[in-house]
Amino acid sequence: MKIKINNLTIVTSSGLFRKNLLIDGGIIKKISDKPIQAKGVDFLIDNENLMVFPGFLDMHVHLREPGFEYKEDIESGQRAALKGGFTAIACMANTNPVNDNSAVTHYIKCKSKETRIPVDVYPIAAITVGLKGEKIVEMGDLKEAGAVGFSDDGNPVENSDILRRAMEYSKCFNMPIICHSEEKKLSKDGQINEGILSLKLGLKGIPKEAEVIGIYRDLMLAKLTKAKVHIAHVSTKDSVELIRKAKKEGINISCETCPHYFILTEEEVLGYNTFAKVNPPLRTEEDVMAIREGLKDGTIDVIVSDHAPHHIDEKDREFELAPFGMIGLQTMVPLSLELVRLGILDFQALAEKLSRKPHQILGLRPPAIKEGEEANLTIIDPHYEWVLEKDKIMSKSYNTPFLGKPMKGKAIYTIKGGEVFEIES
């Protein structure tokens, strides 16, 4: 397929450029300031409002398959990712059976290819067997089967000696340990951020210190082992400060946050809104500002969705009984663009956090917009206005506090495998 792109803004690490592209057979053949003459063009994109990014990767997604297909499955998750503008996602191991062996990893890889949806799926395997925190998985077998990292996400590895040995073991394979950093004895039975609001609502709070203590432990183990460690879903001011200091000390760590931690505050749970019940919980305005500053100065490397679908029957119940989590694949782009509108990030930094950095952390070759490179592209309209309505959600679940909310910015096309996929026209 021959694809011609006219007069679009290309976002690269060195800046923004108004360019024309010619893609043939899945390869970027030409990038030019001048109009490109080409015969036999199969698809033309000509819209000066659009911006071309290297293909986006969401490195923290829960696909629920195998075992919880009533919430989500691999195909529906891929469709949601495509609709959100992603050309790749990485999925967490808390399935049933747990992705703690090569058979489950192989199943996920094969199933994701069978769908023929142009979204690569990279499995993140468990750190410990059954997510129980007791026995380390066979990392070599899992890497060979296609795993790109290890995480007991949702279950911190509480035994520090086991986590230390897992970090040391992971170094043999140059693969990241992704830590869900939480001191469970502090957060046990907690529902929302601990503070005045939790008292007002009569809900048990989760103190910020539960996250901060967990992160401190994981940072010290990263320093001890010199392993490649990634901290998941950072949500507090003190966490950002700890990680900033650790990076200055040269500890080999990276970290991520989610749009709900830089857009929403704990006030979103007023009215006992279970769609806003997440772990870590939504925090205060002070924490939101600190997360934004961490994104701005590079302390926070990556933006992820932590896409966590749940059936409506699970969410539509008493707050204490509802599970943690919200979907986020289709809202990642507009919510992340809000950081650009606020002057917190520029478009180059956005490309870093949605494409180059997550690829690098997972040991994957980042896509690049260069002649001779494979065309792996996300094309967005930063000004496209729309409303997140239930019938537009590709996921099997719709548990998001952004339902019915106006959005600005959207992926319009992705280009992958030599084909164009039109998301919105």
Cα 118 from Cα 329, distance rounded (Å) = 15
Quote the tokens at residue 251. Answer: 């500890």
Distance, CA of 325 to CA of 401 (rounded, Å): 11
Catalytic residue among 141, 306, 381, 391: 306
100 a catalytic residue: no
Residues annotated as part of the active site: 306
